[in-house]
Amino acid sequence: MKADKYLFDGARTCDLRALSCDSKEDATDKGEILAKTAEMLQKMAALEAER
């Protein structure tokens, strides 16, 4: 999700019906998300081990 698409600055009326509510528009890849999560978990474990 690109945050700038959902920015509300008051310049126009906010219409929630016009916003996408599925992940297809941003082309999210579940495999990529799972891989990044696993990588982050390994980094966190390494940082915890250093403490």
Determine if the pTM surpasses 0.75.
Answer: no
Which H or E run includes 43? helix 30-50
Residue 39 confidence (pLDDT): 95
Confidence band (pLDDT; 50, 70, 90) for 20?
A: low
d(CA 2, CA 19): 11
Number of structural domains the chain divides into: 1
Residues of the domain holding 24 = 3-50
Q: Sign of dihedral through CA atoms 12, 14, 20, 25?
A: positive
Percent of the chain scored above 70 by pLDDT? 59
Assess contact for 6 and 19: CB atoms under 8 A: yes
Confidence of residue 22 (pLDDT cuts 50, 70, 90): low
- What confidence tens digit (pLDDT) does each residue in 26-42 have? 666 788 889 999 999 99
